[in-house]
A = this chain, B = another copy of it.
C-alpha cells in the first residue's frame, strides 16, 4: 500500500515535471505531503475517513509546519493545540506574530484542508509538536472558515505557480479526533499517551531528503545538457588571426567549468539513487520498529541533501553563465531550473543544520572507533591511521582517489573531534565547544559526503552490468569527478603532507588530459540523460541545435511585441520628446 502510494506520487511528479517542467504545481503538496502524512500518521479509522475524500479531491490539502519565526528547529514552534476535555476539542491558536504559519506550499488559495504542526497541551502540560487535521476553507464554496486567516505570502524568487501561504488561528476549535493519532494519542479525558519510539519520524525525513538529492541532481543534469549542447553550437573569438571561430566547448576554460559539473551530475544522480534504494530496503524494518540502520542512513541523507543542493545550485549558475549573455534570458531555461533547485538549500532542514547533524553522527562514530568498537559499513574509515602518504601516481588510479578522500575525511573528523576536546578541556561547556568547533565539524561532514559520492561513483562503474565501452567512457568522468574535487579542496589534502607537490602535479595534468578525453563524448554524455526538449524548456539546449532561430522566435512571441508602440510611450516618453504638449512633464524632466 505504502509502496503503491509512493509509486503513484512519483508517477504524478514525473508527469507534472513533463507537463510543466520547473513549475511548481499548486496540488504538489497534496500528493507529496498531505496524502503520505495521512498514510503514515493517521489511525486506521482516520485513514478510512480521510483517504477516500483526499484521493477523490474533496479534501485538498497541504502540510503546515514552518512559522514566521520558526523553521528548522521544530520544537521552537509556537502554534498551540490545547485540549479541552469538556467539549472534547482541541483549541488551535496562534498566540504571537511569529507563530503564524508562513511558507507552506499550496496553502494560500488552493487547499481546503491542512495538516498543522502545533505544540500539544493537555492536562496543563506541554508534550511538544504534534499533527492535527484542520479544515481551513468550506468544501462547498471555498470560503475561509471562521477563526482562520489565510492568504499567499507574495512574490518569491521562483515558485511563481505555487501559492505558498500564511495561516493563523484565533482559538479555533477542532474535534479531538482530528489529532493524527497513530503514534501518540490524547484520550477523551485528556490523558496523553506518548509514541513508543520518538524517532519514527526519521523515515519520512530520509525519504524527502533523498528525493531532494535526486531533484538537485536532475536540475544540475538538465543545466549541463543545455550548456554543453549550446557550447557545441556557439562559436566565439577566432583562435588565431583569420582563423575560424571555434565551438566554445573547445576552449579549455569552458571544459574546466562544464565537464566537472557533468561529472557531478552523474555522481549526484547515483548518490540520490543509492539513498532512495537504501531507504526502500530499510523501510520495512523501520515500520517494524527496528531502527538499527537508521542513524547511518539518516546522517547520510541529511548531509547529502545539503551537499547536493549546494553543489547543484552553484553548478547550475555556472552552466548558465557559461552560456554567456543568452544564459540570462528566460529563453535559456536556466533561470527557472536554478530557482527551482536552490530553495532546496533551505527547505526541509537548513543546509548548515543538516551538515551538523551529519557531523554529530560522525563524532559519535569517532568516539566509538577510539573505544575500539567496529563501525558499520561506510563509516569504517573513521579513526583510521593518519600517518600515511598517498599512493597517487601519474595514472591516477581510482583506488588512490578513494583512499585520498578517505584520508581527508578521516583527518577532518579527527581534527574536529580534537578541537571539541580541547575546548572542553579549556573549560567550555559542551554546547559552547560544539559551536566553537562547528566550522570544522562542517568541513568534516562535507568531506564525508564528498567521499561518499566519489566511492559510490567508483562502485557504480565497477558494477558488472556495464559494457566495457561504457566503462571506458564513464571511468574518465568518474576520474574527473575525483581529481577535480581534490584540486578544488587541495589544502585539505595537503595540510598534513598526505600529497606531495609532485603528486599534485600529476593530478593537474591528469585533469587537463581528461578534458581532452571527455570532449568527443561530451554531447553524447548529456544526450544520455535523455531529457526531451519539452522538459528542458530551453532555446539553447535544443536537441536540433537551432538555437538562434529559437531565440529569435522567442523574442518575436513576447507579449510586448504584439503592439508596435508600448503604452508607456504615451504616458511617459511623448511628454519628454514633445514637451510643448505637456509643460508639466518638461518641468519634471528638467529636475
Name A residues whose Cβ lies closer than 8 Å to a Cβ of B: 26, 57-58, 60, 66, 68-73, 75-76, 97-98, 100, 102-103, 108-110, 112, 139, 141-144, 151-159, 163, 166, 234-240, 243, 245, 250-254, 256-257, 313-314, 317, 321, 324-325, 327-331, 335, 342-343, 345-347, 350-353, 356, 429-432, 435-439, 442, 487, 489-497, 501, 504, 511-512, 548-549, 551-552, 554-558, 560-561, 564-566, 568-569, 573-574, 576-577, 579, 589
Contacts and interface: CB of A to CB of B under 8 A. Distances in A.
Contacts of A68: 548, 551-552
Count of this chain's copies in the oligomeric assembly: 2
A154 B495 CA distance: 50
Given A256-B439, A504-B491, A569-B109, A76 B238 contact: yes
Contacts of A98: 548
Given A256-B439, A491-B491, A330 B155 contact: yes
Closest 4 CB pairs of A and B: A490-B491, A154-B558, A73-B237, A157-B335
B327 A346 contact: yes
B240 A565 contact: no
Contacts of A346: 321, 324-325, 327-328
Contacts of A342: 317, 321, 328
Contact of A252 (B70, B71, B438, B494): B438
A102 B511 CA distance: 36
Nearest to A488: B491
Of A152, A254, A314, A343, chain B has the most CB atoms within 10 Å of the CB of A152
Given A151-B561, A240-B431, 13 more contacts: A72-B236, A76-B238, A108-B561, A154-B558, A237-B353, A250-B435, A253-B439, A256-B442, A321-B342, A490-B492, A494-B495, A495-B501, A497-B501
B556 A151 contact: yes
Contacts of A439: 252-253, 256, 511-512
A504 B327 CA distance: 39
B431 A564 contact: no
